[in-house]
Chains A and B, each alone.
Chain A
Amino acid sequence: MSLRKSPLYEVHEERGAEFTDFGGWDMPVEFDSIQVEHDSVREEVGIFDVSHMSQIEVTGQDSTELMERLVCGNVGAMDVGDAKYTAILNEDGHIIDDMIVNRQPDAEGDPHFVFVPNAGNDELMYERWVGHRDEWGLDAAVENRTDDFAMFAIQGPDAEDLVDSVTDEPVADLGFFGAQYADIAGVETWVSRTGYTGEDGFEVMIPWDEAETVWEEFECQPCGLGCRDTLRLEAGLLLSGNDFHVEENPRTPFEAGISFAVDLDTEFVGRDALTKQDEEGLDEKLVGFKLTERGIPRHGYEIANLDDEVIGEVSSGTMSPTFDEPIGMGYVPVEYADPGTEVQVVIRGRNKMARIETLPFLGENE
């Protein structure tokens, strides 16, 4: 199967990017170096092409109900211009995907949502929404807009100044998870104050054919998926497919540490399972850790206790460019989850000492 491409593929190629297959998309993994790109976002500002992110539009008089019943957060409490992080669960309460929902200005008097699941999940989510709409007899239109809109993320402490400089709209006044339309270079874009780096920043949706015009407005370091991963991991943010996977690593939002994305007072698929877990407590949960010996933890490596018994698995790991230390996340029984607990990570058959840390890694040293 041929890979899907961003509308900016040739622009990135010209700029010297290296590409990688991510969720069925051929996306830039690195423009200059992961360290350089990572540092630009932590210290100044960088721009990511995240056109691989899925975009599903939901309109119609029952759109709010359809959204509410298919995600675990309280979509009904969203106002126009709100963005919200939440998750899509199955009946067992396990995360199928996580995503940001945007509530855009009403369309023909009805609520209008665009939600952004992860790369490659657009068809799956589109079918899930349409299937449940029909099953529940709701009046809502669902459109897969992934190939209609490009998406950029402008991230870093200087992101506000940069985004403010390319539009006359008061985007600098947006609060965290606020969103609005903004004209950039004569193109109508949807700008939200969201991101996946642990820094202040914005995500911008742009009509597919206008992507290059808008991209060129932002004069800053282009960043690839390589540093997107190191940035998000330092910020303790989940990577779909790694830190949860509905088949290979089924996890509830409580286990994954995103209980803030759940509102048990709403009615949604998976709620009964979550209510039960909420009452009974957790057996395992996601923790952060630092290796205190040399080595780099990676997805799939075993986590052991001090008696060398395997107690879990690394879900994400890297050498942190910010802290210059090996960091990771993984699921362990709750009795090992307290910060300061010593565990081991098995790297190529050798056990390396590690210490459970408070998530996110970012923040404590700043």
Chain B
Amino acid sequence: MSLEVPDDCRYLESHEWARRDGDSVRVGLDDFAQDELGDIVFVELPQEGDDVSKGDSFGVVESVKAVSDVYAPVSGEVTAVNEDLIDAPELINDDPYGDGWLIEVALADESEYDALVGPDEWEEDME
């Protein structure tokens, strides 16, 4: 099975993706992670205004068979949370880079984003 690795994202080793739009970074779980977890049935996310730190767990994603922490690819204040996931956590399986996004963070330190794994390298790691 070939996994999708969009080239407009950068990646954290624990399988989160980050997509920068100006000073905002949208964060989600990558295709590999959603496939490994299987049917996702529950998410626990921070609230708008909370701060997250790069590399720290900011929430939990649960499938039928596993509980998985999700880690922040960059530090900053949470500016948006994907409320659609509360009633439809399966969006993470269906569209991990689109409707299945988790949170948006106000980027505090650009170098953190640049230090993430680039899409070409990530695609190689996935093979």
Q: Could you tell me which A residues sit within 8 Å of B by CB distance?
A: 29-30, 33-35, 226, 230, 294-296, 298, 318-319, 321, 326, 348
Tier of interface size on chain B:
10 to 19
B65 & A34 in contact (Cβ 8 Å cutoff) = yes
Rank and list the top 4 A-B pairs by shortest CB-CB distance, nearest first: A319-B41, A34-B64, A35-B39, A296-B42
A34 touches B42 (CB 8 A): no
| Complex Cα–Cα for A348 and B62 (A) | 13
Instruction: Answer whether A226 and B64 are a contact pair too, CB < 8 Å, given A34-B38, A35-B39, A296-B42.
Output: yes
Residue of B nearest to A36 (CB): B39
- Considering the chains assembled together, what is the distance between the CA atoms of A230 and B63 in angstroms? 12
A-B residue pair count with CB separations less than 8 angstroms = 35
- Which chain B residues border A318 with CB–CB below 8 Å? 64
Partner of A230, one of B62, B64, B86: B64
Asked if B115 is at the interface of the complex by the 8 Å CB criterion, the answer is no
Which residues of chain A have C-beta atoms less than 8 A from B60's C-beta? 348
Chain A: CB-nearest residue to B43:
A294
Contact mask for chain B residues 52-72; partner A; CB cutoff 8 A; 1 contact, 0 none: 000000001011110100000
CA distance A326 to B86 in the complex (A): 14
What separation, in Å, do the CA atoms of A24 and B63 have in the docked complex? 23
Contact of A298 (CB < 8 Å), options: B38, B39, B44, B67: B67
Write out the residue numbers on chain A whose beta carbons fall within 8 Å of the beta carbon of B42. 294-296, 319, 326
Q: What does DSSP make chain A's interface, helix, strand, loop or mixed?
A: mixed
B binding-site residues for A, Cβ under 8 Å: 38-39, 41-42, 44, 60, 62-65, 67, 86
- Expressed in whole angstroms, the Cα–Cα distance for A230 and B64 within the complex equals 8
Nearest CB on A from B65, distance (A): 5
Determine the distance from Cα of A230 to Cα of B44 in the docked complex, in whole angstroms.
Answer: 22
Across the interface, do B64 and A321 meet the contact criterion of CB distance under 8 Å?
Answer: yes
Name the residue on A nearest B90 (C-beta): A35
User: Is the beta-carbon distance between A296 and B65 smaller than 8 angstroms?
Assistant: no
Pull 12 A–B residue pairs with CB atoms less than 8 Å apart, ordered by A: A29-B65, A30-B38, A30-B65, A33-B39, A35-B39, A226-B38, A295-B42, A318-B64, A319-B42, A319-B62, A319-B64, A321-B39
- Check B38 against A296 for contact (C-beta < 8 Å): no
Residues of A contacting B38 in the complex (Cβ-Cβ under 8 angstroms): 30, 33-34, 226
A38's closest neighbor in chain B, by CB? Answer: B64
Docked-complex contact A226 and B65, CB < 8 angstroms: yes
Give the Cβ gap from A288 to chain B, nearest Cβ, in Å: 18
Complex CA distance for A295 and B67, rounded to whole angstroms:
11
Residues of B within 8 A of A230 (CB): 64
A296 and B39 contacting across the interface, CB-CB below 8 Å: no
Q: A35-B64, A296-B62 are in contact. List 17 more A-B contacts (CB 8 A).
A: A30-B38, A30-B65, A34-B38, A34-B63, A34-B64, A34-B65, A226-B65, A230-B64, A294-B42, A295-B42, A296-B41, A296-B67, A318-B64, A319-B62, A319-B64, A321-B39, A321-B64
